[in-house]
Amino acid sequence: MNLSYEQLVERLNLWNHAYYVLDDPLVSDAEYDHAFRALLAMEAEHPDLVSPQSLTQRVGAKPIDEFKKVEHGVKMLSLANAFSLQETVDFFDKAAKELEVSPSSLAIFSEPKLDGLAVAIHYHRGYFSYAATRGDGQIGEDVSHNIKTIQSVPLKLVTNSPPEKLEVRGEVFMPKAAFEKLNRLAKQQNSKVFVNPRNAAAGTVRQMNPQIAAKRDLQFIPYSVGEYQGEYEFTRHSEMIGYLISLGFKRNPHCYAFSGSFEAFAENYQRMESLRDSLPMEIDGIVYKIDELATQQTLGFIARSPKWAVARKFPAQQATTQLLDVDFQVGRTGVLTPVARLEPVFVAGVTVSNATLHNMDEIERLGLCIGDSVEIQRAGDVIPKVAKVIEQGENRKSITMPARCPVCDSVVTRIEGQAAFRCTGGLICAAQGAERIEHYASRRCMNIINLGTKLIEVLYNNGTLKTIADIYKIQLNDIASLEGQGEKSAQNVLDSIEASKTTKLSTFLAALGIPDVGEGGSKNVAKYFKNLPAIQAASFEELMQVPDVGPVTAKSIVDFFRDEKNLAIVADIINAGVVWQDEQAEAVQAQPLAGQTWVLTGTLSIPRQEAKALLENLGAKVAGSVSKKTDCVVAGTEAGSKLAKAQELGVKVMNEATFLSEFKL
Ligand code: IVH
């Protein structure tokens, strides 16, 4: 079926709404991806067609330079808090008194209080116009670039008669699962770990670069309307929310309407408290609102909060206990994380006896010692953490990073420029095992096609694979005896192990997973030293002579090859038949372009990677941009600015055909 561009955009938006807003997908991921690719292709062919409501427009091309200030037409207020049932009831008793009605006659609407940050999203004639943070209530910051990336924010309202103006107010938050995923990734990459989903959401919305927000799975749920110019005269808050849902927004789960009696508030609170942990997002309380908009208007505001709504907060999720000891856990990348062992304490419904301390800088910041009384904080499913020292212990003992890894006894070193410490055990450290093996076997490394992540984990957990050298000891039956595997698939694995044995020195070096030694570094080192014994014997100073190799990489390589256990594993692998042609042999081949810098631009008939490898084998360095130092530019079809720059600077330009006929062997 051939769809027009507009039909395709509409269809994808409908599917997107079903998936992200209703949590009820209409089609398979594959079908969705297929349509999305068709959309991309149409837009690439006809850039003039691109519609602002197209899914492709969610992520802008460029980061912004600064946050523009935005004045709110209607002030963005906060809510008064109630910390007990009595305080909640008192709040509405007071309102009822002012209205001269009985409290139980008030129609109350309850909503989960989402724990994120308030954002106002403006629509003009049905289209997303801009979005702003609350700021000080009067002036906020324009964060449109990030809010547009949120899939549950419609770029076009779902209606044929859009209001002239609509400002939708609500909470941007990060679901618990997205938060955990983000922190897991951050830990793997040794980058900043967020304390809780609220901080993660706020930090993400205040990023300059929308590409970051696009990757983080934020969500938006509306809870009120700010400015509105449209045809409806709403009488109830719940009706207004219903209208927003009909326009394509996501519904706040577990909203209830009831009359404001003591029993009703009590029952509602109990229900919400017991639901809390099972919700996909953090909530820090319940917001109770008088549903009638006219009544809201009569009551108005006091100071900075309405007299018709109150936030019933859940009890603090903190408790005080004693720090008994600190253990160090070794993660899959070798980073050691201090973990607090605590006198068990009951916090927000669970008994806590361990809490993360993140890293040594955090311990220093807290001024923490073993024996201290500490405050523990727990929010929902989030791992409990030590928030602060309440009282110093009498015989307090300072916390020190162990000199040796608690798992494998290898030396522990601080990662240069970071708060983290790492075990140098590398290949022999069981804590780092499975991931190292996965890296080694991956497509970009040894490319052992049939030895995938799942199989590696099974073989690692059952003890077949302890180190990468064990890959070459796998027997047919080790795999054939596993559930879901047979002789044929086992043979395929063995065949692909065999086929992977012929490799390149740089590939093998990268596959070892030496910290801070990636593909590029491995290539440079292999090219410089030309064979493995020379690399193994290289000193720090010698390694520093390698182009583009810095002190972190140099030290890491020295540490790695100084370790007898790593050397034994490497020797085992070579004995198992892994071979490569020494770079020397390659280097002897003519290197007519040695010392030159070349640039590739435009569309080439061979893959860009291949052209790059060809140039590198000829001795050239391949750069990403043209400068006076560039020796030659290879221009494919549709070459643009780089070609123009080369011509401007008088740099030699060669077309692809000439390049290939001259150099391709
Ligand atoms: S109503 C005029 N409803 O809580 C009052 N706020 O502590 C408008 N929040 O700034 C707010 N969930 O960011 C409302 N269902 C909900 C909410 C909610 C979370 C936040 C909101 C507000 C803060 C006040």
- pLDDT tens-place string over residues 352-400: 899 989 899 889 989 999 999 999 987 554 678 898 899 999 999 999 9
Atom of ligand 1 nearest to the CA of 118: 13
Q: Which of 241-250, 368-377, 558-567, 655-664 has the lowest mean pLDDT?
A: 655-664
Q: Confidence class of residue 502 from pLDDT cuts 50, 70 and 90?
A: very high
How many Å apart are CA 556 and CA 559, to the nearest integer?
A: 5
Residue 587: is its pLDDT beyond 50?
Answer: no
Q: Confidence class of residue 584 from pLDDT cuts 50, 70 and 90?
A: low
Pairing of strands 335-347, 350-356: antiparallel
Q: Which of 23-27, 318-322, 372-376, 580-584 has the lowest mean pLDDT?
A: 580-584
For residue 160, the CA-to-ligand 1 centroid distance in Å is 30
Q: Does 642 contact ligand 1 (Cβ within 6 A)?
A: no
Closest C-alpha residue for ligand 1 atom 3 = 223
Atom of ligand 1 nearest to the CA of 112: 15
Closest C-alpha residue for ligand 1 atom 21 = 118
For residue 113, the CA-to-ligand 1 centroid distance in Å is 6
Q: What is the pLDDT of residue 610?
A: 78
Average pLDDT over residues 248-263: 95
Q: Does 77 contact ligand 1 (Cβ within 6 A)?
A: yes
Instruction: For residue 419, give both structure tokens.
Output: 């708060």
Q: Does 113 contact ligand 1 (Cβ within 6 A)?
A: yes
Residue 167: is its pLDDT beyond 80?
Answer: yes
Residue 507: is its pLDDT beyond 70?
Answer: yes
Q: Which of 75, 81, 171 to mutate to test the pocket of ligand 1 (most atoms within 8 A of CB)?
A: 171
Q: Does 307 contact ligand 1 (Cβ within 6 A)?
A: no
Q: What is the pLDDT of residue 586?
A: 45
Q: Does 79 contact ligand 1 (Cβ within 6 A)?
A: yes
How many Å apart are CA 360 and CA 263, to the nearest integer?
A: 49
Average pLDDT score, the chain = 90
Contact 594, 613 (CB under 8 A): no
Q: What is the pLDDT of residue 585?
A: 47
Q: Which of 252-266, 290-304, 402-416, 594-608 has the lowest mean pLDDT?
A: 594-608
Q: Does 336 contact ligand 1 (Cβ within 6 A)?
A: no
Q: What is the pLDDT of residue 193?
A: 77
DSSP state of 152: T
Atom of ligand 1 nearest to the CA of 111: 15
* pLDDT one-digit tens code per residue, 305-342: 999 999 999 876 788 999 999 999 988 778 999 999 99
For residue 307, the CA-to-ligand 1 centroid distance in Å is 14
Q: Does 109 contact ligand 1 (Cβ within 6 A)?
A: no
Residue 1: is its pLDDT beyond 80?
Answer: no
Q: Does 618 or 663 have the greater pLDDT score?
A: 618
How many Å apart are CA 124 and CA 10, to the nearest integer?
A: 19
Active-site residue (options: 69, 75, 94, 113): 113
For residue 472, the CA-to-ligand 1 centroid distance in Å is 59
Residue 616: is its pLDDT beyond 90?
Answer: no
Q: Confidence class of residue 149 from pLDDT cuts 50, 70 and 90?
A: very high
Handedness of CA 303, 306, 310, 316 (dihedral sign): negative
Q: Does 584 or 642 have the greater pLDDT score?
A: 642
Q: What is the pLDDT of residue 429?
A: 87
Q: Does 9 contact ligand 1 (Cβ within 6 A)?
A: no
Residue 290: is its pLDDT beyond 80?
Answer: yes
The 3-state DSSP class for residue 294 equals helix
For residue 162, the CA-to-ligand 1 centroid distance in Å is 25
Q: What is the pLDDT of residue 379?
A: 59
466 catalytic? Reply is no
Please state, for a pLDDT cut of 90, what percent of the chain lies above it: 66
Closest C-alpha residue for ligand 1 atom 18 = 113
Name every residue whose Cβ is closer than 8 Å to that of residue 142 and which is 6 or more positions away in sequence.
67, 68, 69, 70, 130, 131, 132
Q: What is the pLDDT of residue 65?
A: 84
How many Å apart are CA 612 and CA 520, to the nearest integer?
A: 13
How many Å apart are CA 532 and CA 536, to the nearest integer?
A: 6
Q: Does 407 contact ligand 1 (Cβ within 6 A)?
A: no
How many Å apart are CA 554 and CA 539, to the nearest integer?
A: 8
How many Å apart are CA 598 and CA 616, to the nearest integer?
A: 9
For residue 311, the CA-to-ligand 1 centroid distance in Å is 8
Q: What is the pLDDT of residue 61?
A: 61
347: closest CA among 312, 392, 391, 386? 386
Q: Does 241 contact ligand 1 (Cβ within 6 A)?
A: no
CA 174 remoteness from chain centre: 11
Phi, psi of 102 (to 5 degrees): -85, 140
For residue 250, the CA-to-ligand 1 centroid distance in Å is 16
Atom of ligand 1 nearest to the CA of 76: 2
Q: Which of 77, 287, 308 to mutate to test the pocket of ligand 1 (most atoms within 8 A of CB)?
A: 287
- With both helix axes pointing from N to C terminus, report the angle between 176-188 and 197-205 in degrees, rounded to the nearest 10: 80
Q: What is the pLDDT of residue 521?
A: 92
Average pLDDT over residues 70-82: 94
Closest C-alpha residue for ligand 1 atom 9 = 113
Spell out a b/e string for 520-531, using b for 16 or more CB atoms within 10 Å of the CB, else e. Answer: ebbbbbbbbbbe
Closest C-alpha residue for ligand 1 atom 2 = 77
How many Å apart are CA 331 and CA 337, to the nearest integer?
A: 7
Q: Does 221 contact ligand 1 (Cβ within 6 A)?
A: no
* pLDDT one-digit tens code per residue, 435-455: 889 999 998 899 999 999 889
Residue 291: is its pLDDT beyond 90?
Answer: yes
Q: Does 420 contact ligand 1 (Cβ within 6 A)?
A: no
